[in-house]
Structure 1
Amino acid sequence: MPISSPNAQEPALIAFGRAVRAERTGQGVSQEELALRSGIDRSYLGAIERGEQNAGLLHLVRIAAALDTPLAKILAHAGL
């Protein structure tokens, strides 16, 4: 299990995680499938979706690319 970020549960992290989950589930993609597509460990991806991890830029770009969705759209959905 990933080590929790000191910023865990910050409103921006929660909002981003919810936006990723909404896009993923809206496309009918499982968390495991998104993890495989993006090259991110499934448990780490789950922590991002729960707002427990402050993901780096490369992870954000990989998630958006794996969902074939502009990162700006996910950020806008999150209100960021």
Structure 2
Amino acid sequence: MSKLKLGDIRDEKPVKLSVELPAQVHRDLVAYAEILGTENRQTLEPAKLIAPMLERFMKTDRGFAKLRKERRSASPRSAQER
């Protein structure tokens, strides 16, 4: 089994967004869904991969995590100063 960054896809109540993807990104997304589906023995809609991919990206982005933590720690102080 290969080491894909995505695992099982959770089925949660979604928030609907409309996005435009470059054609190459869409082709890659379709290919990724086919490969992941084959490995997990399921049929996956390529669009269902977008949220887990974004979630994984944000969880592993150290810069984002650092700035988010700084923002969270700054928020209570700024609320107390008012």
State whether TM-score is above 0.5: no
Q: TM-score, normalised by structure 1?
A: 0.32
Higher relative contact order (Cα pairs below 8 Å, separated by 6+ residues): 1
